[in-house]
């Protein structure tokens, strides 16, 4: 069977969660630390089978707090590392996500979202964790997040997430949801040599000159613990050597750099997709699993003479404000469609110069094309 192969290639018919696991392996992930939680459990199950076949390590921890801690430790030891969870587990991980940002430990955190709050709807879809992906931990930091809309993108965007985490030396999110994670569809995995795989920059200076948090570089090279370089890591504010230095100037310098390495590279990070926007008078802004029903609604609306297009956030974080600003100048109204009661609509409203309307539900079901078409008719009237 296909799972017996070390690296899969070719055409497959897989669940989104399985495609994501294969994307992680193709990107070089060789450590998975996690705790099973619906609707992400297929990722853990597949990684448990696949990691030994590619020379990797799978470990099931006692909870989500320990899972992200193990992932951070594996990253600092040189492994490309990942965990996957859903809403309640994502909440438990937030403190250590802040630690990963402070340690500048590259890793990938997958959130297959479900209905909340609390235990909520374990088996049904939602998009209620989107703001948490940016603001969940305390303090100032920036986030990079991908929001796949298809099974193919579950694979592709996981590869991109690993590349971004290595390039910018930070945790990166894949914000999936139950609908995408558990749908099955065609997946094409290219030959390994055709998949772009990045690795973190490592130090080349003599050992006595190495500074693990060298502030002269926006993204300092990262030595592997145990490889000969002196490495000191702490969640406390630290100087270039990694030693605690709890004074305002050091803190401002360090945290400023953590933020700048994303903000100064936004043009290289942010990805959006536009459909039928050339003549659009109304724009639908969306991400993730809302693409399917929204696109069907767009096709029906076009038949009725309603000029509507789509702006999709492939990377909801960093927020694609330039795209929103540009699109909003050319349309009369924006309809934000998301499976929550209002999350990404807030930054859209902040940057849009036109009317913004929200269509949402708290999860548990997909918003239908008919509901979207109803609102498009109102906006175009």
CA separation for the pair 164, 162 (Å, rounded): 5
Mean pLDDT (whole number) for 275-287: 98
Identical fold between 2-194 and 272-380: yes
DSSP run (H or E) holding 329: none
Instruction: Write down the pLDDT at residue 5.
Output: 66
- Span of 2-6, 72-76, 118-122, 189-193 with lowest mean pLDDT: 2-6
Residue 318 has pLDDT above 50, yes or no: yes
Q: How many CB atoms lie within 10 A of CB 21?
A: 31
Model-wide pTM > 0.85: yes
Instruction: Write down the pLDDT at residue 1.
Output: 37
Tokens found for residue 355:
């009317």
Tokens found for residue 155:
């694979």
**Nearest in space to 292 (alpha carbons), one of 156, 157, 155, 153:** 153
pLDDT > 90 fraction of the chain, expressed in percent and rounded? 96
Mean pLDDT (whole number) for 230-249: 96
**Nearest in space to 326 (alpha carbons), one of 357, 348, 299, 359:** 348
Instruction: Write down the pLDDT at residue 2.
Output: 43
Tokens found for residue 41:
């459990």
Q: Which CATH number fits domain 2-194: 1.10.3720.10, 3.40.50.970, 3.30.70.580, 3.30.1490.190?
A: 3.40.50.970
Helices (H) and strands (E) in the chain, counts: 13, 14
CATH architecture of the domain covering 272-380: 3-Layer(aba) Sandwich (3.40)
Residues 6+ apart with CB under 8 A from 272: 311, 312, 313, 314, 315, 320, 323
Mean pLDDT (whole number) for 353-367: 97
Mean pLDDT (whole number) for 267-283: 98
CA separation for the pair 337, 172 (Å, rounded): 24
Q: Where are the domains of the chain?
A: 2-194, 272-380
Strands (E) across the chain are located at: 10-15, 31-34, 57-60, 81-85, 107-115, 121-125, 145-146, 171-177, 184-189, 272-275, 282-286, 308-313, 333-338, 355-360
Measure Cα distances from 230 to 201, 210, 214, 215 in Å: 16, 8, 13, 17
Tokens found for residue 154:
């579950």
Q: How many CB atoms lie within 10 A of CB 347?
A: 20
Under a CB-based contact definition with an 8 Å cutoff, are residues 353 and 328 in contact?
A: yes
Q: What is the pLDDT of residues 139-187, one digit of tens each?
A: 999 999 999 999 999 999 999 999 999 999 999 999 999 999 999 999 9
φ and ψ at residue 308, rounded to 5 degrees: -125, 145
As to burial, measured by CB atoms within 10 angstroms (0-12 exposed, 13-18 middle, 19+ buried), residue 71 is: buried
Residue 216 has pLDDT above 70, yes or no: yes
Q: What is the pLDDT of residues 37-48, one digit of tens each?
A: 999 999 999 999
Instruction: Write down the pLDDT at residue 7.
Output: 80
Tokens found for residue 318:
């960093």
Residue 52 has pLDDT above 80, yes or no: yes
């Amino acid at each position: 069977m296909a799972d017996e192969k070390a690296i899969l290639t070719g055409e497959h018919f897989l669940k989104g969660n399985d495609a994501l696991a294969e994307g992680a392996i193709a990107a070089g992930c060789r450590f998975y630390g996690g705790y099973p939680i619906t609707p992400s459990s297929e990722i853990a199950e597949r990684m448990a089978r696949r990691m030994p076949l590619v020379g990797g390590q799978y470990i099931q921890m006692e909870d989500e707090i320990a899972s992200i801690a193990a992932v951070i430790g594996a990253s600092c030891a040189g492994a490309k590392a990942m965990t996957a969870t859903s809403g309640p587990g994502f909440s438990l991980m937030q403190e250590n996500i802040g630690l990963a940002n402070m340690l500048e430990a590259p890793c990938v955190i997958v959130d297959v979202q479900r209905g909340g709050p609390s235990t909520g709807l374990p088996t049904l879809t939602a998009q209620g964790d989107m703001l948490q992906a940016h603001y969940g931990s305390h303090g100032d930091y920036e986030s990079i997040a991908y929001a796949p809309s298809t099974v193919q993108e579950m694979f592709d965007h996981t590869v991109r997430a690993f590349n971004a985490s290595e390039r910018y030396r930070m945790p990166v999110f894949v914000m999936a949801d139950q609908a995408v994670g558990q749908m099955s569809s065609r997946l094409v995995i290219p030959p390994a040599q055709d998949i772009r795989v990045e690795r973190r920059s490592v130090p080349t200076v003599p050992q006595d000159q190495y500074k693990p948090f060298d502030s002269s570089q926006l993204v300092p090279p990262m030595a592997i613990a145990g490889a000969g370089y002196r490495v000191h890591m702490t969640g406390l504010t630290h100087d270039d050597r990694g030693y605690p230095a709890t004074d305002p100037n050091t803190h401002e310098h360090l945290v400023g750099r953590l933020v700048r390495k994303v903000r100064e590279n936004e043009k290289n990070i942010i990805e959006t997709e536009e459909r039928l926007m050339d003549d659009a008078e109304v724009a639908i802004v969306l991400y993730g699993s809302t693409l399917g029903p929204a696109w069907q609604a767009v096709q029906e609306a076009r038949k009725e003479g309603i000029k509507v297009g789509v702006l999709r956030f492939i990377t909801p974080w960093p927020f694609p404000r330039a795209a929103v600003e540009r699109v909003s100048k050319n349309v009369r109204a924006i309809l934000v469609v998301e499976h929550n009661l209002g999350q990404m609509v807030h930054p859209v409203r902040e940057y849009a110069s036109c009317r913004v309307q929200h269509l949402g539900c708290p999860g548990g079901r997909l918003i239908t094309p008919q509901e979207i078409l109803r609102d498009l008719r109102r906006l175009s009237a």
